[in-house]
Amino acid sequence: MTNYRVNIGFTEYSDGDLDEFTTNIVTNLTGNASFPAPPVKLADLSKLQTAFETALAAAAQGGTQLTAAKNEAREALEDALRIEATYVQSIASHDLAMLLSSGFQANNTNRAQTPLDIPSITAITNDITTQLTVRLQPVGNARAYQVRAGTGNNGNTAWLPTVDSTQARRVMLPNLTPGTTYTVQARAVGGATGYSDWSDPVSHMAT
């Protein structure tokens, strides 16, 4: 039986990515029957996140004291996330799907590498003009992800250069034409075959 361990690589995330990661954890644990009693209550985790966001905004003004305060708020948030991660692992160490449902990711514990599941596109947003932001559902044992966008249909899609990403939460597709609708697909990298199959296509217009 495989023993899965929660990946705590979120401690290496940028401030912005850690903030987004925390939002994802709160969203996924809220009402999740597999994890009914997180040791850090979700309301308290959200308060720590808010304190971090406030300190982060203040630190943008510059200054050693404000930066130190931001770092302290980040450390408090990371500590809470580590506690939640340990809790998730204690319940879902033998169930990868359950573990991933928490919003956390799993370490790659399979040295023999097996074919990867296909990642699903959970959202595409227009955060910046000429660019799409693609969010994926993480896949266990994936080392990275590839996302592509193209135009055309009926099997004649003209694909733009593939974008590589080591994380699934936010993949940016740049240099797009406003007003053009793009077909977007994603695949995971790793496993015995090197890549998963491409995901089902999702259409979205660039702005």
Supply the pLDDT for residue 191.
65
Supply the pLDDT for residue 154.
60
CATH number, domain at 140? 2.60.40.10
Which segments of the chain have a pLDDT < 50? 112-113
**Residue that is last in its domain, among 101, 130, 159:** 101
On whether residue 106 sits in a domain, the answer given is no
Q: Same structural domain for residues 132 and 80?
A: no
On whether residue 28 sits in a domain, the answer given is yes
pTM given for the model: 0.58
- Give the whole-angstrom CA distance, residue 1 versus residue 140: 15
CA–chain centroid gap for 185, Å, is 16
- Give the whole-angstrom CA distance, residue 143 versus residue 107: 10
Which residues make Cβ contacts (< 8 Å) with residue 86, sequence separation at least 6?
Answer: 6
Supply the pLDDT for residue 193.
64
- Give the whole-angstrom CA distance, residue 24 versus residue 28: 6
Report which secondary-structure segment, H or E, holds 204: strand 202-205
**Residue that is last in its domain, among 71, 101, 131:** 101
The total of structural domains in the chain comes to: 2
On whether residue 115 sits in a domain, the answer given is no
Supply the pLDDT for residue 138.
86
Q: Same structural domain for residues 175 and 139?
A: yes
- Give the whole-angstrom CA distance, residue 205 versus residue 33: 36
Supply the pLDDT for residue 183.
95
Q: Same structural domain for residues 76 and 150?
A: no
Q: How many other CB atoms sit within 10 Å of the CB of residue 50?
A: 13
Q: Nearest 5°: CA angle at 119, between 113 and 123?
A: 155
Q: Same structural domain for residues 33 and 97?
A: yes
Q: Same structural domain for residues 86 and 130?
A: no
On whether residue 144 sits in a domain, the answer given is yes
- Give the whole-angstrom CA distance, residue 186 versus residue 138: 11
On whether residue 74 sits in a domain, the answer given is yes
Supply the pLDDT for residue 2.
78
For 81, the domain range is: 9-101
Q: Same structural domain for residues 94 and 133?
A: no
Residue pair 97/9 in contact by the 8 Å Cβ criterion: no
